[in-house]
Amino acid sequence: MASAMRSVLSRGYASAASTVKAPIQLNSLTGTYATSTYLAALKKSPKDLESLAKDIEAFDKKIKEDAKVNAFIQNPTLSASQRSSALSSILPSGSSPILLNLLTVLSENGRLSSAPRVFQDFGSLISAYRGELEVTVTSADALDNKALNRIEKALKDTEIAKGKTLKVVNRVNPSVLGGLLVDFGDKSIDLSASSKVNRFNAALTQGV
């Protein structure tokens, strides 16, 4: 993972890690890419970091909504040169060079398909930087704003949320079989039907 960080920082941002620190520690490989990208932008200036955050959010949305861009990101058959030549063309004009740098390093390392996960980890970093508490609500189907607002209101007065701005993010995962998974800070609340099924199956197994 250290080599992944060096790869991103070495492209003109090698001194970033020596003067700034990430607000939270992410131990996964995608977290390492996200952290090195965060450090590179913050080393330049807080303004560059916020600009990068906007560009990442916009490009992440483009991957989700544009089938061609998503197919390119996920295509494992493209050569390194094909991916490299296409990257500049699919990024919106005026995007942060640090974003292009990140995507280039992911492409060269054969991990371009991991970009959405890297963006998700970067989102966790930027939320912590802004003093936000990111609340991830996983559901089988997308929730409407009314449901998300109810969850936000329920968590707003909890001890862990004091002094923080809540940022509620809805992720869709059909495997939860209804109900919800709510993750915030170091807490996790499993209200999914799948967890109930698993507990029931475990009880049956123990009783046999």
Q: Are residues 106 and 152 in the same domain?
A: no
State both tokens at 206: 């123990």
Q: Are residues 73 and 122 in the same domain?
A: yes
Q: What is the pLDDT along the chain (208 residues), one digit of tens a residue?
A: 545 554 555 554 444 445 688 988 888 999 999 999 999 999 999 999 999 999 999 999 999 999 999 999 999 888 877 887 888 788 888 899 999 999 999 998 989 999 999 999 999 899 889 888 878 889 888 888 888 888 888 888 777 777 778 888 888 888 877 778 888 766 788 876 555 545 544 554 555 4
Say if 20 falls within a structural domain.
no
Which residues have a Cβ under 8 Å from the Cβ of 191 and sit 6 or more positions away? 179, 180, 181, 182
Domain ranges, residue 77? 29-128
Q: Are residues 34 and 116 in the same domain?
A: yes
- Closest to 6 (Cα-Cα) out of 35, 27, 26: 35
Encode burial over 113-139: b for 16+ CB neighbours within 10 A, e otherwise. Answer: ebbbbbbbbbbbbbbbbeeebbbbbbb
Query: What pTM was computed for the model?
Result: 0.68
Q: What CATH number is associated with residue 91?
A: 1.10.520.20
